[in-house]
Structure formats: structure tokens, C-alpha cells
């Protein structure tokens, strides 16, 4: 729809500029006015590129997907887990140590232990045991682990510390 309007505007502008060029007097003023008319035509031609790189267009809008949005989200999570699985399998020991060190740096954390588990559906799950255990610290630890492991937060369980 937008492309049709853009082409219509462009063709109208070309015709209008052609008529204006015929009406212009000759001489120094004609050269300057042709420059202005040419610049306005260039701006009209480049308008789709300006709209493409505008800050409002940088976000992704999935409202067109309607009822398929949950399905798209599930497929995106599966793809994310499939990409993270080789890293989790190959570097399990060092990864748990690094994750424990990163979580120990959180404010208020006294003890932390990380376990990587094979999920029921074949997807990796992460269990984090924290001391002290509170809602704010649990949420912060889950987000940090999800970001470091490149996994969705729902695959990370933060549990109270057990001896």
C-alpha cells in the first residue's frame, strides 16, 4: 500500500517539476531553481530509505501475527535452546563454575550452587540454589543466568539453599 502511494507521489512530483521547469525564466535564476527542484526530487526518491532508518521503525512489531504469536515465541525459544545446547554439553563443569562465580558477585548472596540438568523434553534446565533466598534475589539470579547462558528465563529454576 505504501509503495503505491510513494510511486504516485513520485510521478506527480516529476510531472509538476517538468511543468515548473518549462515556466522558469532562463538565466542564473533558472540554474538555481533547477538545483532546488532536483534536490526535492531526490528527497522524494530517498523517502523510503529515510523511513526505513527512522528510530520508530527499529522496533519489531508482531501484531500482524495475531493468533500465531505464541507459536512464534515457542519456536524462537526452541531455536535458542538448540543453539545453547552444545555449549552446555561441552563445557558443563567450567560453565557451572563461571556461573557460580558470577552469581556470587550479586549483592547479598552468601552461598550459591549451580546444576545443569537434562530436561524432560530433552531441553537443558538449570537449577540454582541460593542462600539467602528471597524474591528479589531469585529474580535477579534467574535473569543473570538466562543472559549468561542465552536461555529463556523459564528454563532456570532458582531454589532455596539446602545443606
Examine the domain organization and report whether 82 and 34 are in the same domain.
Answer: no
Examine the domain organization and report whether 156 and 120 are in the same domain.
Answer: yes
Q: Which residue range(s) make up the domain with 33? A: 2-57
Is 33 part of a structural domain of the chain?
yes
pTM for the complete prediction? 0.50
Separation of alpha carbons 54 and 57, rounded Å: 6
Examine the domain organization and report whether 77 and 155 are in the same domain.
Answer: yes
How do residues 7-44 score in pLDDT, each as one tens digit? 888 899 899 988 988 888 777 888 888 888 888 889 88
Separation of alpha carbons 112 and 39, rounded Å: 64
The total domain count for the chain is: 2
How do residues 99-158 score in pLDDT, each as one tens digit? 888 888 888 888 888 877 765 454 557 888 888 888 888 888 888 888 877 777 878 888
Amino acid at each position: 500500500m505504501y509503495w503505491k502511494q510513494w510511486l504516485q507521489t513520485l510521478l506527480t512530483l516529476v510531472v509538476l517539476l517538468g511543468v515548473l521547469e518549462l515556466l522558469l525564466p532562463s538565466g542564473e535564476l533558472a540554474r538555481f531553481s533547477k538545483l532546488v527542484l532536483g534536490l526535492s526530487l531526490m528527497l522524494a526518491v530517498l523517502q523510503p530509505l529515510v523511513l526505513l532508518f527512522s528510530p520508530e521503525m527499529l522496533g519489531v512489531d508482531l501484531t500482524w501475527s495475531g493468533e500465531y504469536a505464541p507459536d512464534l515465541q515457542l519456536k524462537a525459544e526452541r531455536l535458542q535452546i538448540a543453539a545453547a545446547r552444545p555449549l552446555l554439553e561441552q563445557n558443563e563443569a567450567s560453565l557451572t563454575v563461571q556461573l557460580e562465580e558470577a552469581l556470587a558477585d550479586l549483592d547479598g548472596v552468601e552461598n550459591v550452587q549451580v546444576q545443569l540438568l537434562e530436561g524432560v523434553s530433552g531441553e537443558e534446565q538449570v537449577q540454582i540454589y541460593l542462600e539467602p533466598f528471597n524474591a528479589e534475589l531469585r529474580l535477579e539470579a534467574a535473569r543473570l543466568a538466562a543472559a549468561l547462558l542465552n536461555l529463556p528465563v523459564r528454563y532456570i529454576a532458582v531454589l532455596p539453599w539446602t545443606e
